[in-house]
Amino acid sequence: MIHLYFVLRGRCSNTFNNCLFFRAQSLRMTDRILIIGAYGQIGTELTLALKRKYGPANVIATDIRVPDHLSDEDDSCLYLDVLNRRALDLAVHKYQITQIYLLAAILSVSGEQHPLKTWELNMQGLLNVLETAREHFIAKVFWPSSIAVFGHHAPKKPCPQHTVLQPSTVYGISKAAGEDWCQYYFNKFDVDVRSLRFPGLISATSLPGGGTTDYAVDIFHHALRNERYTCYLKASATLPMMYMADAVRAVLELMDTPAERITVRTSYNISGMSFTPAQLAAAIKKRIPGFKIAYQPDGRQSIAESWPTSIDDRFSRKDWGWSPAYDLESMTDQMLQELAHTMPTLPVR
């Protein structure tokens, strides 16, 4: 076992020459990854990508629910409640974790139904991970934020990286506060925590999970079942979106970026595409001509109206070379192709 000594401000104290030292327990050749919330909206696909990158033995996937059926690559999942700090510390110690990906959260729509529960999970869960990272000298932490941090007073098109944050939902409030905590732990304790403000995410693998942009996933399932879809947003409700393959790639690229190139320690704006429900329906109808949609806006419309319609992600592009691969047309093609393998389908043009 090789012991290393590093000089880092804020990590621990030593009276010798008033320097700050910590002792790393061992030098590992391979990172060990802990994923918390491995089978949620983002975690389902990110877990597979991390296992391919680091090897299944080096990725510890955890959740508070274990899926009934796992793919060949997803052959194990451990139970871990991020609100249980002792269990979190034990997992980090037992598996010699070097990176933590905290994906467990309650999203915008579900959060409005259970505001205090949402605050507890989203906020205390993050604080538990940050404290564990500080005490165990975790090399890197990833935590996703959201465009929900922006409120009615933020610029709509495009929304800049640095602007007023006055979120209208408890989910957005928890993410805005979490961004400040991430920056604080970096500035105060040198915890290398990195974050992305995700727009609405679209995936053929994970089902809608209680977010305002869930329609952009649900609509494909209805179309392929030859069912009329009733959208809870207005036909003209423009929102930023991203295909999940782009989102997963963005996480991997951000986490691989040298620390000295990371200039945003709250959360990076990131952009994929922007469209309305009517534009998405038209793209689907080009491929499934019989598809029909109706509009019955409900309370989710007011949440959507508080969010930007497009995102200025110039800092992501400049700092770590971000560029999305999918637009509306290519995302629609990919979604229909992927879903065709998992559910009965209509002929697609």
- Which one of the listed residues 39, 101, 171, 185 is annotated catalytic? 171
Helix H or strand E encompassing 280: helix 277-287
**Is 326 a residue of the active site?**
no
The residue type of 28 is R
User: From start to end of the chain, where are the E strands?
Assistant: 4-7, 21-24, 33-36, 59-63, 78-79, 99-102, 140-142, 145-146, 193-194, 196-198, 200-202, 229-231, 239-243, 268-269, 273-275, 293-295
**In terms of Cα–Cα distance, which of 209, 337, 338 is closest to 349?**
337
Sign of CA dihedral 145, 149, 270, 189: negative
CA end-to-end span of the chain: 60
CA 20 to CA 344: how far, in whole Å?
A: 61
Q: Which two tokens stand for residue 151?
A: 């409120």
Q: Give the integer Cα–Cα distance in Å for 220 and 117.
A: 31
Which residues have C-beta within 8 Å of that of residue 43, sequence separation ≥ 6? 35, 37, 61, 63, 101, 103
**Catalytic residue numbers, as ranges:** 171
